[in-house]
């Protein structure tokens, strides 16, 4: 602080930590004497004071008369007034241009030397973007510039920057001649009503600043006059989504070929659309860090599935960071999505009782906002709760802690603008971001962020995505790599699951020899290798030149980047090689790594990879057939290709390609193999998962005890039928085309009732018989329709269709509305039979191996005393003498469920659903019990097969909830929706244990935790002692299905021969 004297006033001169000059006068000086190299204000400064409170001080606004006599005078003063001097060449204590500023200026002028088309400059916040705009104004000597900004706050800030010319007019800046006059700046705050008003205002200015919203609301003739008056258009913060109104405004400038220049911190717009115009300059984030403009962000996570608990933990983390701040200057921003949330979160921070938290959002009164801002400026408050981000016009270098309570807005955009947190200053520490990594939205946003700009991997290191063992293992695997792929982060490389396999005889592989396989490239065509020596995994990115299909001219080539991955399995002496082009066998690569005696594994051994795939159904069969000296290849794809395998047993055919789908390790899977050694699956994997996939396949390929021919004998072969199978139909599943999607995207319409979502719609067989027509009932609690599977034609013309039974009609809406019969004819449901076979339309698939009887000793007798075993449902009145009520009591005594739900009714997942977490604090596994109850066909337990058909079919349907990851979460959404409708209608709750809030929490947890099922069949009419063989056989078929598909256990509750009165 230095005493400063003018002829008309006394004052003090301050220099901020950022080297900005501020003048404080006790009274308003004469306008012509106000200093031009800093900001001025009027305020009281007591003599000898150690601290000065300037909260009530008034800023002295710039006035056109203080700056220049006319816009023309300012414009003329800029001629030859600018020098391109870098900060390195400016000299000690002097200010010059930063590298990104010099680079951007040259790029802008280079672009304008050939065209006036829209140009975009990408400079991260904090690298000098605004000063680049000022320098462009002066160096291009723009006669009249219009600047569009997104917000009122930024309009004020940018106007002040152009008033003062920022650091360019500082006395210690050597870039701009001191004789250069500041521009005449006009701030447009209301709509001009006529073109004449535009002429009157604009003609006095060098620069006009307004918001894009205001410009877009102007009439077309006013917009056109603005374009006529202005020589250039600058758009700041161009990543904001374009409204159609001001998009039309910009078109007036394009029509007059006015140069349009867009500035942004990120090339990714908030609405996901690409930016208009050519990107002429991009300053990468990693360079901003390397040059010291940015500091690396330390990511601190909390892991809470409950939003209220997450808010508290985030707030505690913020306070801990402020306490640990050695500078005592850091300020924390707590970001929320709504004003209501802001008030809620503010109370959490206030309850901690430190750092005087305040709130800021756009709808606060000016008085309230100024009061909050004053407390922040003077350091009394060090926590600000804001809605979304603090606007672009908010500039506070002390902001170093960002706490994300809500993620409603794109985090990718938010973090790209985080230069305000990461800019380096000697008296401040490094930035910290705090967020809840249990929030699945955060995980997806960070994934988007990393893929959009790989430099964020350097700026935001140390990310933990939550307590998932697989993720930790993947991070450890990737951390073992040595080398650098520059712009491509390793965890964003996702190779397809495809490889060739070599047998090796070397004692140790030599990954350093990889270059022998990549000869012939020029020096400019750099090869990028990285190696994880401990995991014996090598990743190579290599450019390959190749011709283009549209010309034979040798000089016209394209460069294709090929990803090669080699994994050496030392235990099995196998080398797995992946190439992204999926062509060839990569023999040179294999021999370079493991020696010339490395040999390719081919047919028939390669077909061992099919072993261990349950219910394998071939979808692609290629055969080589010997005809004289000629070899003919025949290939077929589709559900009936398995029948072609019989040709391979003939002496004239050999298998060339086999691919199919099935189940392995409790998951759906696909697998394919070719005779020349290629193995593949329809997956994209991380490098760590790819290594595991290779080794799982290698375990089978290297096992000499596996006979490929025996493996293929168990393949399921769908065959076309012209009549219903003779086995008893026991159950039906919705088509895969429906269960691929969440229930909320599919709705049914029945006659005389409003649309009903799939959550409340059931599907079942009308009759469980070996001979009756296959009639299906689709129903809600109030309406139903019946449709019949009809077989038509024969031989080559055999087909099927679904037709209505009775007068009822229904339609299904999933995007567009379609008649139910038409939909099911196009996408047939799956009908299950007592022998384990299935029917999809007219394609019948039988098991190649039989099922064993369900062990009698696994039947568990329940005490059905005082229960009417012919009364299944407890209903809403909770009938104590029902099968369901007694089963609920038994389960409550046996298992400690977090939530238990009575889901009985049309569209049910099961009659009873029990849910348990493996850990109440940090769960990793959710176990769901789906309990299917059925009433007895008689008064006593016995050997009635009819008692078993329905409930076994329901048990098999349970696997639909494991069809995909979204479907697993949708199970809990299903339960919540059905509970909400019950409550909204004033009916009793479905929840037997726990609460709706607990169920909602489990729904959220399911997005990051594993989900497994256990299936229960409850039939008090089944006697453990007298159970017939056909009953145990049917239970055996059901158990085999559950086990071979998703590895689910089956439990059976039954009765015994004692009569129940």
And the tokens for 532?
A: 């994880």
pLDDT of 65 reads 40
Looking at the predicted structure, is the pLDDT value of residue 161 above 70? yes
Q: Identify which has the larger pLDDT, 866 or 544.
A: 866
Q: How far apart, in whole angstroms, are the C-alpha atoms of residue 12 and residue 7?
A: 14
Q: Where are the beta strands (DSSP E) in 795-924?
A: 799-805, 810-814, 816-819, 830-833, 838-840, 843-846, 859-861, 899-902, 912-917
Mean pLDDT, residues 105-124 taken together: 92
**43-52, 923-932, 981-990, 1036-1045: least confident range:** 43-52
pLDDT of 1036 reads 94
Asked if residues 639 and 830 have their Cβ atoms less than 8 Å apart, the reply is no
And the tokens for 410?
A: 């794109």
Write the DSSP string, 146-208: EEEESSHHHHHHHHHHHHHTGGGGSTTB-SB-TTPPPPPEEE--S---SHHHHHHHHTT-SEE
N-terminal to C-terminal alpha carbon distance within the chain: 98
pLDDT of 293 reads 80
Instruction: Classify burial at 201, counting beta carbons within 10 Å of its beta carbon; exposed 0-12, middle 13-18, buried 19 or more.
Output: middle
Looking at the predicted structure, is the pLDDT value of residue 63 above 60? no
Q: Identify which has the larger pLDDT, 345 or 541.
A: 345
List, in order, residues 6 or more apart from 534 with CB less than 8 Å away: 480
Question: Omega of the bond prior to 491 within 30 degrees of 0, cis?
Answer: no
- Reported as a pLDDT band with limits 50, 70 and 90, residue 226 is very high
pLDDT tens digits, one per residue of 245-254: 667 888 899 9
pLDDT of 413 reads 55
Tell me if the domain spanning 856-1055 has CATH number 3.30.200.
Answer: no
Mean pLDDT, residues 363-368 taken together: 84
pLDDT tens digits, one per residue of 969-990: 899 989 998 998 898 889 999 9
Looking at the predicted structure, is the pLDDT value of residue 27 above 90? no
Domain with CATH 3.40.91 in the chain: 856-1055
Q: 840-867: buried (b, 16+ CB within 10 Å) or exposed (e) per residue?
A: bbbbbbebeeebebbeeeebebbebeeb
And the tokens for 1057?
A: 């021969």
Q: Identify which has the larger pLDDT, 361 or 221.
A: 221
Q: How far apart, in whole angstroms, are the C-alpha atoms of residue 214 and residue 222?
A: 12
- Reported as a pLDDT band with limits 50, 70 and 90, residue 30 is low
Mean pLDDT, residues 531-548 taken together: 82
pLDDT of 43 reads 80
Residues of the chain with pLDDT > 90, as a percent, come to 47
145: nearest Cα among 154, 153, 135:
135
Q: How far apart, in whole angstroms, are the C-alpha atoms of residue 782 and residue 753?
A: 9
Asked if residues 1060 and 869 have their Cβ atoms less than 8 Å apart, the reply is yes
Write the DSSP string, 224-265: HHHHHH-SEEEEESTTSPPPHHHHHHHHHHHHTT--EEEEES
At the second CATH level, the architecture of 294-461 is 3-Layer(aba) Sandwich (3.40)
**18-27, 446-455, 539-548, 954-963: least confident range:** 446-455
List, in order, residues 6 or more apart from 93 with CB less than 8 Å away: 172
Mean pLDDT, residues 783-799 taken together: 90
pLDDT of 694 reads 95
Domain with CATH 3.40.50.300 in the chain: 64-283, 294-461
pLDDT of 463 reads 37
pLDDT of 356 reads 94
Q: What is the mean pLDDT of the chain?
A: 84
Q: How far apart, in whole angstroms, are the C-alpha atoms of residue 579 and residue 435?
A: 38
pLDDT tens digits, one per residue of 599-646: 999 988 999 999 988 888 888 887 766 555 455 556 666 655 655 455
List, in order, residues 6 or more apart from 954 with CB less than 8 Å away: 731, 910, 932, 934
pLDDT tens digits, one per residue of 463-520: 333 322 444 455 566 666 776 665 566 666 889 999 999 999 999 999 999 888 876 5
pLDDT of 291 reads 83
660: nearest Cα among 640, 633, 634:
640
Count of alpha carbons within 13 Å of 864, Cβ hemisphere only?
31
Residues of the chain with pLDDT > 70, as a percent, come to 83
**59-73, 82-96, 187-201: least confident range:** 59-73
Q: Identify which has the larger pLDDT, 766 or 152.
A: 766
Mean pLDDT, residues 713-725 taken together: 85
**32-41, 276-285, 920-929, 1048-1057: least confident range:** 32-41
CATH class label, 64-283: alpha beta
pLDDT tens digits, one per residue of 408-467: 555 445 555 566 676 667 778 888 888 886 665 555 555 555 455 544 555 554 333 332
pLDDT of 779 reads 93
Asked if residues 391 and 151 have their Cβ atoms less than 8 Å apart, the reply is yes
Write the DSSP string, 576-630: EEEETT--S--HHHHHHHH-TT-EE--TTGGGGGGTT-EEEEEEEEEEEEEETTE
Q: Identify which has the larger pLDDT, 180 or 15.
A: 180
3-class SS at 26?
A: coil
Tokens 């494991």 belong to: 962
And the tokens for 688?
A: 């760590």
**46-55, 81-90, 509-518, 688-697: least confident range:** 46-55
pLDDT of 708 reads 83
Tokens 């520490």 belong to: 429
Looking at the predicted structure, is the pLDDT value of residue 337 above 60? yes
pLDDT of 648 reads 45
Asked if residues 886 and 1060 have their Cβ atoms less than 8 Å apart, the reply is no
Computed on alpha carbons and rounded to an integer, the radius of gyration of the chain in Å comes to: 37
pLDDT of 465 reads 30
Q: How far apart, in whole angstroms, are the C-alpha atoms of residue 1012 and residue 1048?
A: 8
- Reported as a pLDDT band with limits 50, 70 and 90, residue 302 is confident
């Amino acid at each position: 602080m230095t005493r400063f004297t003018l002829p008309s006033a006394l004052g003090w001169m301050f220099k901020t930590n950022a080297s900005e000059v501020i003048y404080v006068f006790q009274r308003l000086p004469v306008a012509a004497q106000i200093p031009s190299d800093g900001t001025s204000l009027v305020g009281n400064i007591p003599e000898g004071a150690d601290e000065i409170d300037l909260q009530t001080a008034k800023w002295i606004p710039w006035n056109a008369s203080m700056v220049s006599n006319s816009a023309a005078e300012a414009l003329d003063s800029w001629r030859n007034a600018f020098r391109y001097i870098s900060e390195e060449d400016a000299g000690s204590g002097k200010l010059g241009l930063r590298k990104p500023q010099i680079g951007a200026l040259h790029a802008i002028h280079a672009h304008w030397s050939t065209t006036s088309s829209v140009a975009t400059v990408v400079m991260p916040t904090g690298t000098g973007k605004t000063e680049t705009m000022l320098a462009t104004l002066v160096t291009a000597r723009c006669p009249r510039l219009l600047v569009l900004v997104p917000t009122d706050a930024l309009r004020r800030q940018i106007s002040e920057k152009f008033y003062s010319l920022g650091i360019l007019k500082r006395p210690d800046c050597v870039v701009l001649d001191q004789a250069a006059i500041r521009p005449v700046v006009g701030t447009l705050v209301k709509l001009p009503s006529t073109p004449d008003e535009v002429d009157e205002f604009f003609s006095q200015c060098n620069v006009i600043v307004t918001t894009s919203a205001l410009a877009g609301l102007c009439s077309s003739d006013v917009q056109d006059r603005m374009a006529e008056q202005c020589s250039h258009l600058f758009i700041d913060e161009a990543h904001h989504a374009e409204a159609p109104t001001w998009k039309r405004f910009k078109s007036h400038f394009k029509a007059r070929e006015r140069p349009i220049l867009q500035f942004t911190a990120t090339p990714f717009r908030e609405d996901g659309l690409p930016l208009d115009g050519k990107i002429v300059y991009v300053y990468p984030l990693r360079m901003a860090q390397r040059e010291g403009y940015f500091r690396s962000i330390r990511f601190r996570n909390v892991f809470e599935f409950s939003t209220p608990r997450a808010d508290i933990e985030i707030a505690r983390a913020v306070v801990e960071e402020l306490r640990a701040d050695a500078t005592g200057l850091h300020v924390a921003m707590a970001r929320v999505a709504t004003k209501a949330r802001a008030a809620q979160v503010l109370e959490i921070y206030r309850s901690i009782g430190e750092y005087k938290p305040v709130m800021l959002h756009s709808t606060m009164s000016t008085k309230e906002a100024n009061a909050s801002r004053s407390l922040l400026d003077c350091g009394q408050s060090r926590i600000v709760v804001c809605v979304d981000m603090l606007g672009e016009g908010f500039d506070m270098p002390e902001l170093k802690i960002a706490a994300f309570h809500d993620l409603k807005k794109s985090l990718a955009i938010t973090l790209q603008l985080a230069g305000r947190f990461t800019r380096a200053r000697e008296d401040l520490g490094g930035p910290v971001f705090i967020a809840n990594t249990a929030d699945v939205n955060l995980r997806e946003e960070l994934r988007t962020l990393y893929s959009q700009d790989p430099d964020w991997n350097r700026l935001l290191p140390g990310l933990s995505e939550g307590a998932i063992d697989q993720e930790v293992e993947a991070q450890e695997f990737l951390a073992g790599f040595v080398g650098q792929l520059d712009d491509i982060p390793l965890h964003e490389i996702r190779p397809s699951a495809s490889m060739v396999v070599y047998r090796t005889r070397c004692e140790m592989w030599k990954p350093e020899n990889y270059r022998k396989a990549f000869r012939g490239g020029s020096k400019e065509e750099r090869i990028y290798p990285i190696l994880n020596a401990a995991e014996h995994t090598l990743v190579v990115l290599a450019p390959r030149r190749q011709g283009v299909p549209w010309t034979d001219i040798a000089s016209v080539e394209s460069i294709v980047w090929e990803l090669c991955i080699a994994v050496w399995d030392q235990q099995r002496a196998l080398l797995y090689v992946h190439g992204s082009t999926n062509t060839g066998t990569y023999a040179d690569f294999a021999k370079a790594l493991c020696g010339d005696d490395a040999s390719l594994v081919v047919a028939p051994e390669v077909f061992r990879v099919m072993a261990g795939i349950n219910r394998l159904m071939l979808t692609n069969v290629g055969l080589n057939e010997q005809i004289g000296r000629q070899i003919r290849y025949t290939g077929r794809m589709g559900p009936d290709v398995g029948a072609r395998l019989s040709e391979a047993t003939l002496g004239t055919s050999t298998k060339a390609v086999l691919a199919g789908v099935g189940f392995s390790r409790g998951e759906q899977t696909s697998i394919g193999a070719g005779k020349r050694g290629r193995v593949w699956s329809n997956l994209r994997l991380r490098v760590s998962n790819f290594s595991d996939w290779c080794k799982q396949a290698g375990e089978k390929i290297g096992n000499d005890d596996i006979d490929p021919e025996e493996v293929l004998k168990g393949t399921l072969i769908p065959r076309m039928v012209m009549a219903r199978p003779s086995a008893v139909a026991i159950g039906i599943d919705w088509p895969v085309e429906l269960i691929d999607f969440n229930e909320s995207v599919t709705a049914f319409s029945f006659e005389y009732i409003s649309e009903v979502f799939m959550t409340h719609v059931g599907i079942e067989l009308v009759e469980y018989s070996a001979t009756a027509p296959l009639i299906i009932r689709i129903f809600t609690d109030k309406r139903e329709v019946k449709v019949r599977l009809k077989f038509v034609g024969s031989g080559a013309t055999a087909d099927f269709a679904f037709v209505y039974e009775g007068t009822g009609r229904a339609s299904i809406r999933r995007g567009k509305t379609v008649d139910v019969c038409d939909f099911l004819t196009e996408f047939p449901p799956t009908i299950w039979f007592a022998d384990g076979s299935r029917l999809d339309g007219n394609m019948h698939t039988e098991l190649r191996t039989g099922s064993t009887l369900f062990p009698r000793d696994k039947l568990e007798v329940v005490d059905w005393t005082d229960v009417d075993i012919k009364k299944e449902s407890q209903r809403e009145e909770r009938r104590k003498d029902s099968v369901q009520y007694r089963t609920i009591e038994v389960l409550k005594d046996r298992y400690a469920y977090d939530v238990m739900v009575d889901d009985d009714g049309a569209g049910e997942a099961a009659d009873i659903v029990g849910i348990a977490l493996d850990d109440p604090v940090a769960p990793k596994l959710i176990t769901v019990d789906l309990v299917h109850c059925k009433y007895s066909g008689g008064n006593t337990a016995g050997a009635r097969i009819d008692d078993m058909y329905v409930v076994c079919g329901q048990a098999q349907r349970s696997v639909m909830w494991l069809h995909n990851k979204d479907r697993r979460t949708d199970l809990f959404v299903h339960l919540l929706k059905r509970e909400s409708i019950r409550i909204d209608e004033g009916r009793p709750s479905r929840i037997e244990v726990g609460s709706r809030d607990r169920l909602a929490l489990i729904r959220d947890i399911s997005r990051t935790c594993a989900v497994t099922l256990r299936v229960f069949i409850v039939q008090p009419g089944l006697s453990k002692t007298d159970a017939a063989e056909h009953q145990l056989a049917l239970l055996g078929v059901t158990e085999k299905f559950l086990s071979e598909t998703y590895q689910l256990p089956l439990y059976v509750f039954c009765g015994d021969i004692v009569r129940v009165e």
